[in-house]
Structure 1
Amino acid sequence: MIRFEDVSVTYDGVAEPAVRHVDFEVPEGELALLVGPSGVGKSTVLGAVSGLVPHFTGGTLRGRVTVAGRDTRTHRPRELADVVGTVGQDPLAHFVTDTVEDELAYGMESLGLAPAVMRRRVEETLDLLGLADLRGRQIGTLSGGQRQRVAIGSVLTPHPRVLVLDEPTSALDPAAAEEVLAVLQRLVHDLGTTVLMAEHRLERVIQYADRVVLLPEPGAAPVVGAPAEVMAVSPVYPPVVALGRLAAWTPLPLTVRDARRRAAPLRDRLPTEGARGTARPATTHPPETTAASPRPRSGRTFWSRVSRRADGGRSHGSPRPFGALADARDLQVRRGRVTALRGAGLDVSPGEIVALMGRNGAGKSTLLGALTGLVRPQAGSVTVGPVVPAATPPRELVRHVGLVPQEPRDLLYADTVAAECAAADHDAGAAPGTCRALVAGLLPGVSDDTHPRDLSEGQRLVLALAVVLTARPPLLLLDEPTRGLDYAAKARLVDILRALAADGHGIVLATHDVELAAELARRVVLLADGEVIADGPTAEVVVSSPSFAPQVAKILAPGQWLTVAQVREALR
């Protein structure tokens, strides 16, 4: 159904091909998973299936791509629209109507389907994706995860023979992601739909794949095979595979169920204290970062290291404030007819990392908006350090709190990475080079003259994070910070956030990434329908939750082990 024959793609003005010698086939009715580190060309491969590469993106495509027998070199995207449905990383870029129901119908209307057929398929898709309650909602009022489901639904209604999906679960909560993947599996198994999907959160999708196409590094030929075989050599792999590698299990497990069947000997080797949650390795949280001692004892703080890189060794940071960095109480927020927050509250101390979790639409982004003054509550109180966010001018507020939004492009407006960094240094009053040093640490290899729009979704997020961090706000808020990040980039993000916490910053992560919460957060606050329903230590909250428990916790339950790093440390 999909065939790549020795395909290479070179974009205009770029010396090296984005992908080189790509050769693989996806038969009809299979789900193929495209994996690899960020920047290896996965989005280019996906774009070549729909004809967006090179007809829309420009550049030169060598070789041949055929879909259902149609050569994409001679068929433009509109001539493939009845065969291929595509959902990119950014749903907002694809929406053309105002409401959920109209967006689901638009693709069918463009193909000239009968009104009765359109109505039936819209209803079926609303039920499949759990969107029935949102049918009349304005798309602009939806959460990021809800928009993602609408985007997926809009390409399902025309019943394409091929689905191309770029990070389809990145903005979805665990339950919604399982629902979407179950729908894809039904389409593959029952209707013979062919699916080619790229996804960094392999822990969610690897068990559904019939085959895996691995792009190991930029310009390298792909490795194609069965999921377990490819995971054995892949540089990116989910926690269940990492645990299997640590325990030397052969073949490698791909599901929690398979791993649990083999895990009894491993559980017996682990200290019994772990079952009570008291034997947490020191690497999970900075050991010196406590409410009583928010500052690290070491004089080599994160910001002093960045300052030395940026200005040759001079330190120019101001002391971090002591006491609560944020205190939000009894917040009530209504958005039209929707109650986004009802009596919710949150407090954050210096050096604390809090994961804010809950299903899509639970109120996580609204709570972050209240802490940054973007949302004015109808009732309740919010203070961030000494200021009330909604009553504080933005230029002053950025020195108290910084927000990295779900859409990082909202913070990026310059033509090059260098210009973005220079503007960030100027706006924050930081030494020249401070922002660029942050970018180099988080995202090595990106040149100064790269345009932000030419970065991947994950790379843009990292650039936006560096822009916000340049002002050194004591309180840092991140909304879905690992969306679009591979495991290596996520590990670098974890390191820098830990260093910031050790330097006294308070960090709040609104995230659906249960593995990130397990790795990084000391505390989890769980929201549902605008209310806080749980607030406590990470192990206590997530282990008891089937939806929000990480893979390692599910495999090694009842012990409260959350990450492979904890298990490795305990086995030593």
Structure 2
Amino acid sequence: MIRFENVFVRYDGSAGPAVQGVDFTVPEGELVLLVGPSGVGKSTVLGAVSGLVPHFTGGTLRGRVTVAGRDTRTHKPRELADVVGTVGQDPLSHFVTDTVEDELAYGMESLGLAPDVMRRRVEETLDLLGLTALRDRPIADLSGGQQQRVAIGSVLTPHPKVLVLDEPTSALDPAAAEEVLAVLQRLVHDLGTTVLLAEHRLERVVQYADRVVLLPAPGARPVLGTPAEVMAVSPVYPPVVDLGRLAGWSPLPLTIRDARRRAGALRERLAGTAPTNTASAGTASAGTASASGPHPCPADTAPAEAPAPRRFLRRRTAAPPPSTPRPPAVVASLAVRRGLVEALHRVDLAVAPGETVALMGRNGAGKSTLLAALVGLVEPARGSVRVGGVAPHCTAPRDLVRRVGLVPQEPRDLLYADTVAAECAAADRDAGAAPGSCRALVSELLPGVADDAHPRDLSEGQRLALALAVVLTARPPLLLLDEPTRGLDYAAKSRLVAVLRGLAAQGHAIVLATHDVELAAELAHRVVILADGEVVADGATAEVVVASPSFAPQVTKVLAPQQWLTVAQVRQALSS
């Protein structure tokens, strides 16, 4: 169905090829997983299938890519639309209509399908992806994960022969990710759909793959094999494979079930040993507050003009943090409305200096809204929010940025210079930091990004690393991150964890909204689970995630009932 014949792609102005020597076949009715570190060319390979490379990206493509017999170099994306359905890393760039139901129907309208067929397929897709309750909602009002499901649904309705998916579960909660992957598996097994997908969260998808294509390094020739064969040599691998390597299991397990069957001896070795916390507790208690009604802005603190979100998110001050010690964040009885929906209801949260809190929950639970309230982008309907002792929605941006920094889900909101070097130089000036501070953070988070690279030409993971570095340069007392590992491979995530642990050790408070249970296990002191805008669990990470089938990390599931969270904990216990 898909054939790569010695494909070479090089973009204009780049120092070397994005990919080369790509030569493999994806048969009809198979799910093939494309893996590799960030920036090795996975999105380029996917783009060559849909015709986006080179028709929209430019550059040089040598070799041949055919889909259902059509050469993608001589067929533009619109000439492949009846065969190939594509969902990129950024669902917002995919949408062309305003509401969920219209978006699901749009692709079929473009292909001229009959109205009764369109209606039936829309209903089927709404049910498959759990979108029925959202059918009339504006897409702009949905959470990032909900938008991801709509984007996937919009390419399913035309029933393409080939699906090309770039990070399809990156913005989904664990349950929603399982639902989407189950749908893809059903399409492959029952309808013969061919699926080629790239994904960094291998713990979610590797067990569904028929074969795996590994791109080990930029420009390197791919390695093709079964999931077990490739995971044995891959530089990127999920925690269950890491645990199997540590324990010496052969063949390596790909699923929790396989690992549990082999884990008896390992559990015996670990019996009586207490896991060492990968993150120490916060250094102080932030306390709590109570409030029963909205807190209007005092006349002398209200900004004269509401800040533009883009300028507000990007810090523009060199002023130091306030000298008077204050709790980084205190939220009391908070309610927030988004149109007709009450996105948050009676939320209480206190964050201590040096503490890392992971906000978790289903898509649409209110995680991003809570971060928006902490940074002043939304106004409380009831209750109060205090960040560094001030109400953020009442505080002028130049004063608020001394207290809090936000890395949003879309890193492009923070990036507007023409090169990585220019972004870093601006970040250093804005933060009053020594020249080179931001660039050092970029190199630490994601090595290999060139100074003259344009941010728009970076992969999603590389853009996120750059945005993180821009915000971290100022080292704000309260750091907020919304899905910070989206698009990051395991090595980049490990470097991010190290940076954030260092900030927490220096007394910075960190609140991150994430669906990445492995990140929460590695980094968070506390986990707060939201459901329908309310806090339903708040406690130490081990206590909360071990008790939750949905939010437990892979190591916990393998070694239960023992309360291990990470491979690092197990490795340390075995070596001591």
How do 1:158-237 and structure 2 match up within 5 A? 158-237=158-237
2:466 to 446, 463, 468: 463
1:202 CA displacement: 0.1
The letter of the residue matching 1:259 is: A
Partner amino acid for 2:153?
A: G
In the aligned structure 1, how far is the partner of 2:448 from the partner of 2:253? 34
Residue 259 of structure 1 pairs with residue 254 of structure 2: no
Q: CA deviation at 1:324?
A: 1.9
After superposition, the C-alpha distances for 1:229-253 in whole angstroms (9 at most, x for unaligned) are 1000000000000000011111110
For 1:164, what is the secondary structure of its paired residue?
strand
Q: Is the 8 A contact 2:321 2:477 kept in 1?
A: no
2:167 maps to amino acid: E
2:275 aligned to 277, 280, 298, which one?
A: 280
Summarize the alignment of residues 18-97 of structure 1 with structure 2, pairs less than 5 Å apart: 18-97=18-97
Q: Matched residue of 1:414: which SS?
A: coil
* 3-state SS of paired residue (1:43): helix
Tell me the distance in 1 between the aligned counterparts of 2:473 and 2:99.
38
- Secondary structure of the residue that 1:136 maps to in structure 2? coil
Aligned residue number for residue 508 of structure 2: 505
Once residues 391 and 434 of structure 2 are traced to their aligned partners in structure 1, the CA distance between those partners, rounded to angstroms, is 28
Partner of 1:493 in structure 2? Answer: 496
1:516 has 2:519 as partner: yes
Instruction: Tell me if 1:290 matches 2:293.
Output: no
Which of 433, 444, 447 lines up with 2:436 in the alignment? 433
- Could you tell me how far 1:404 is from its partner in structure 2? 0.3
Q: What runs of 5+ residues in structure 1 fail to find an aligned partner?
A: 274-278, 294-315
- Please say if 1:560 is aligned against 2:563: yes
Name the CA distance, whole Å, in 2 between partners of 1:118 and 1:148.
Answer: 21
Q: Which residue of 2 aligns with 1:421?
A: 424
Distance 2:349 2:413 in 1: 25
Per the TM alignment, residue 339 of structure 1 is displaced from its structure 2 partner at its CA by 1.1
**Contact 1:286–1:498 at 8 Å: present in 2 too?**
no
The amino acid across from 1:385 in the alignment is: G
Q: Which residue of 2 aligns with 1:296?
A: none
Q: 1:321 to 1:353 in 2, by over 3 A?
A: farther
Paired residues of 1:353 and 1:508 also in contact (CA < 8 A): yes
Instruction: Answer whether contact 1:320 1:504 (CA < 8 A) is retained.
Output: no
**Residue equivalent to 1:540:** 543
The question of whether the paired residues in 2 share the 8 Å contact of 1:290 and 1:352 is answered with yes
**Could you tell me whether the CA contact under 8 Å between 2:322 and 2:402 is conserved in 1?**
no
- Whether the 8 Å CA contact 1:478–1:508 is kept in 2: the answer is yes
Question: Over aligned residue pairs, what C-alpha RMSD do you find?
Answer: 1.4
Local SS of the residue matching 1:415? coil
Q: Which amino acid aligns with 1:152?
A: I
Q: Contact 1:188–1:195 at 8 Å: present in 2 too? A: yes
Match of 2:402 among 399, 402, 405: 399
Secondary structure at the aligned position of 1:272 is classed as coil
**Structure 1 counterpart of 2:342, one-letter code:** T
Give 1:32 deviation, angstroms: 0.1
Return the TM-score normalized by structure 2: 0.92
Deviation at 1:69, TM superposition (A): 0.8
Q: TM-score scaled to structure 1, two decimals?
A: 0.93
Q: Which amino acid aligns with 2:279?
A: H
Displacement after TM superposition at 1:441 (Å): 1.9
Q: Which amino acid is the alignment partner of residue 404 of structure 1?
A: V
**Equivalent pair of 1:389/1:397 in contact (CA under 8 Å):** yes
Matches within 5 A, 1:278-357: 279-281=274-276, 284-286=278-280, 290-291=283-284, 322-357=325-360
Residue identity in the other structure for 1:256: I
- Show the counterpart of 2:573: 570
Deviation at 1:453, TM superposition (A): 0.3
Secondary structure of the corresponding residue to residue 197 of structure 2: strand
Deviations 1:29-72 (Å, cap 9, x if unpaired)?
00000000001000000000011101111111111111011111
Instruction: Work out whether residues 32 and 212 of structure 1, in 8 Å CA contact, stay in contact via their aligned partners in 2.
Output: yes
| TM-fit CA distance, 1:433 | 2.4
Count of aligned positions? 543
Identity value in percent: 81
Whether the 8 Å contact between 1:323 and 1:349 is mirrored in structure 2 is no
1:526 equivalenced with 2:529 (yes/no):
yes
Per-residue deviation, 1:323: 4.8
Rate the CA distance shift 1:233–1:221 in 2: closer, same or farther, 3 A. Answer: same
CA contact (8 A) 1:326 1:348 kept: yes
Name the residue aligned to 1:310: none
Q: Deviations over 1:432-486 (max 9, x none)?
A: 3222222222222212211100111011111111111222210000000000000
CA spacing shift, 1:253–1:568, aligned 2, 3 Å: same
Determine if contact 1:398/1:471 at 8 Å carries over to the other structure: no
Secondary structure, aligned partner of 1:354: strand
Q: Which of 103-112 and 439-448 deviates more?
A: 439-448
Give the direction of change, closer, same or farther, for the CA distance of 1:320–1:191 in structure 2 (3 Å limit): farther
Letter in 1 for 2:189: H
How much has 1:425 moved relative to structure 2?
2.1
